[in-house]
Amino acid sequence: MTFLRENILLLFSGILYIFLSIYFTWNDQAYLSLFPIALLAIYFAIYYTDWAFLGLAALTPLSVNIEEFTDSFGLFIPTEPILFGFLLMFILLQIRKPIIDPRVWNHPIVLAAGFYLFWVVVTSITSSHPVVSLKFFVSRLWFFIPVLVMGTYFFRKVEHIKYFLWLFTAGMTVAITYTLVVHAQYRFGEKEGHWVMWPFFKDHTIYGAIVALIVPIVFGLYFSKKHNPLIQALLIAFIGIILLGLYFSYTRAAWLSVIAALGVWVLIKIRIHFSWVVGIAMVAGGILFFSWDNIQMELSRNKFEHTTEDFGERLQSATNVTTDASNLERLNRWSCAIAMFQERPVFGYGPGTYAFEYAPFQEPENLTIISTNFGDLGNAHSEYLGPLAEMGLVGMLAMILIVVMIFYKGISLYYAWPSEDKEFKTIIMAMILSLVTYFVHGFLNNFLDTDKAAIPVWGMSAAFIALELRLNRSKV
């Protein structure tokens, strides 16, 4: 009888919700119909916390920025409200009864992230736009705490790491399928390829970055163990869709980042010493320095444009610094970032302020056909030069320190993980290579201020920490 009453109540609630949604939509108040969904999300976050967190992985590729539909502030729905809820929950739980393993706070990745946040606070105080910098700090906080720190708690069960990767891959595959279907209606044209991923992604650059990020993961899931025929067929379908999405993203940086990941895979497999890598980098740097004039002359002969649909020509256009407007505008932004750093080398202009400050630093000879005198086209196009302009030299070094710690701990974990556990050894490698694609891409673009990049990047970093703690426990 109780079961019958509960189902009647559920049916009545569902019908009532449908009628209310129709009413609100009819009266141009469709946003009010989101209120019951918010209550449902709160219910799951309280009573099914682990699955609410894992659900973020599936929702992230499909989240939508309400700024695209309204004139209000930017907010990714439903991921960022959920993250903010997790942030509040974390604070309450820590006050009542801490749930985070104390060793997490001393982990190098968390310490590096903590130092970065500390410097964000310092430079927010000296910021040219304190309110903007405060918003920047809060947005970083609800990525670091709920995903990086709380992620170590949810990943205490190693199966949850697999679920997280599976759900993110599945959500991204849905987004790619949608994009390919829309793109096919325009015969996969290059121009249309810049916007067909809307509303899930703003443009092809961030779309390409996340498609590239998912490539090592889907291959890692496929090769991690012997699957039953149904799962194997599903993963093969995922691989086909993702590779198609990568190709038709027409994003050069994404293609090059996957090639870079393959190079790193070779270096890890042959266990090349770090000192050798440093030595090779120094020799390459020396050759670059002493041959720069000849290199510039050679680059000036490159006339390939990024607007071509030919794969080879589009890759070659990556070094066209003479006529390619996209490359030239990126150089303009980098030049502005360096000039801003020279003006304020210690504290910078403040976190999140680049878009408001870079216009006066544009040199006439660096302007392109896509530049604006108002400087209202966004960020510095670099995860490393952006902090340099906004938070000074310490800000850039703090960002680099995070990246170094992630790869140092990730690769160390891969070498230390038991060889007999082939499944997780393969998954660890997949996560390392996935992060390689993003941070290589980070030389040319920066997306860690969005849920699309922040959730998978900090989520995999949390997985490294959780797996390392588990490995250390097993050795005791």
Query: What residues form DSSP beta bridges with 77?
Result: 64
Amino acid 282: pLDDT: 72
- Tens digits of residue pLDDT in 292-315: 556 555 555 555 455 555 545 544
Neighbours of 208 (CB within 10 A): 26
CB 331 within 8 A of CB 214: no
In a domain, 328, yes or no: yes
How far is residue 461's CA from residue 464's CA, in Å, rounded to a whole number? 5
- Tens digits of residue pLDDT in 322-367: 556 777 888 889 999 999 999 999 999 999 999 999 999 998 887 8
SS3 call for 77: strand
CB 386 within 8 A of CB 380: yes
In a domain, 334, yes or no: yes
How far is residue 99's CA from residue 93's CA, in Å, rounded to a whole number? 7
- Tens digits of residue pLDDT in 35-47: 665 666 666 667 7
Most distant pair of Cα atoms in the chain: their distance: 84
Alpha helices by DSSP H, 417-450: 422-441
Residue ending a domain, choose from 313, 335, 366: 366
User: What is the pTM for the complete model shown?
Assistant: 0.87
In a domain, 105, yes or no: no
- Quick one: which of 64, 205, 90 has its CA closest to 149? 90
- Tens digits of residue pLDDT in 358-413: 999 998 887 887 777 665 567 898 999 999 999 999 999 999 999 999 999 999 99
- When divided into structural domains, the chain yields a total of 2
Residue 226 DSSP code: P
In a domain, 152, yes or no: no
Q: And the tokens for 116?
A: 């970065």
Amino acid 371: pLDDT: 79
In a domain, 318, yes or no: yes
In a domain, 5, yes or no: yes
Amino acid 2: pLDDT: 47
Q: How far apart are the first and last CA of the chain?
A: 52
SS3 call for 443: coil
Q: What domain range is 291 assigned to?
A: 275-366
Centroid of chain to Cα 66: 19
Query: DSSP for 138-202?
Result: HHHHHHIIIIIIHHHHHTTSHHHHHHHHHHHHHHHHHHHHHHHHHHHTTTT-TTGGGTTTTTTSS
**Half-sphere exposure for 313 (CA within 13 Å, toward CB):** 9
In a domain, 313, yes or no: yes
SS3 call for 76: strand
Residue ending a domain, choose from 366, 398, 419: 366
In a domain, 232, yes or no: no
CB 456 within 8 A of CB 431: no
Residue ending a domain, choose from 366, 395, 415: 366
